[in-house]
Structure 1
Amino acid sequence: MLYLAWYLREAGFGTVDQRLFPEAAEALERSAARATADDIWQVSPDDATILERLLALHDQQLASTPVGVMLEAQKRLSRFAKSDRKTPWQDTGP
């Protein structure tokens, strides 16, 4: 959902600072690291705030994005998944 939201934002659906995406990725990574260390999946309150912003954006995108745009974003996600890039925004500046 994180990466799909990125591609939809690039297509013009959703207005949010692009810094949200690496922040959300880091929040997920921190939560996964805690789950590995403690054997309990828990999101910190600060990370929850970041992820809530991402979920709100994606909810808005799903409500307003035409199917054709969604399909193209899914194709881009599939190409990304087969690439060597770590994130879709890897080569994108601020």
Structure 2
Amino acid sequence: MAHHLALAACRSDRGNKHLINELARAIYMTYFLQLARFGSLAVRVYLDAETALDNVLARADDGDWRLSDDETSVVEAVLALHDQQLASAPMHRVVDVEKRLRTFVMESAPSPLTGLQHASQGAFQAEP
């Protein structure tokens, strides 16, 4: 639910760094859950959603925290899958993915999507 509130705020120019982080967290959780075989989105959607957040952060220097309509649409697509995942994935899988996300954050890596640009023609393969 927090990710939907964050999206609504960023859509209406009431965004901030915390809310963008909430959206990034939801995007990466969705990606990790997809790797665990819960749902499927094309790689391009994840990359576009991440780019949308990067664009907002770049505009934030000028005080503009608003997602454009196109940026909102791509983030909404990821959040829709995330909602489905949360409704269908067993809680222990969600907890595992949250741990994986925390590990990623602690490593200070630029993005878990790094390297996916080459695979951006379709849905990517889930982990075995």
For normalisation by structure 1, the TM-score amounts to 0.88
Partner of residue 77, structure 2: 53
SS in 2 for 1:82: helix
Alpha-carbon offset, residue 70 of structure 1: 0.4
Partner of residue 86, structure 1: 110
2:95 pairs with one of 54, 71, 77:
71
Partner of residue 28, structure 2: 3
Partner of residue 34, structure 1: 59
Gaps of 5+ in 2: 1-25, 120-128
State the one-letter code of the partner of 2:55: R
Gaps of 5+ in 1: none
State the one-letter code of the partner of 1:59: D
Distance in 1 of aligned mates of 2:115 and 2:59: 28
Distance in 2 of aligned mates of 1:73 and 1:11: 8
For normalisation by structure 2, the TM-score amounts to 0.66
SS in 2 for 1:85: coil
Q: What percentage of aligned pairs have identical amino acids? A: 34
State the one-letter code of the partner of 1:32: L
State the one-letter code of the partner of 1:8: L
Alpha-carbon offset, residue 60 of structure 1: 0.8
Number of residue equivalences: 93
Partner of residue 43, structure 2: 18
Query: RCO (CA 8 Å, sep 6+): is it higher in 1 or 2?
Result: 1
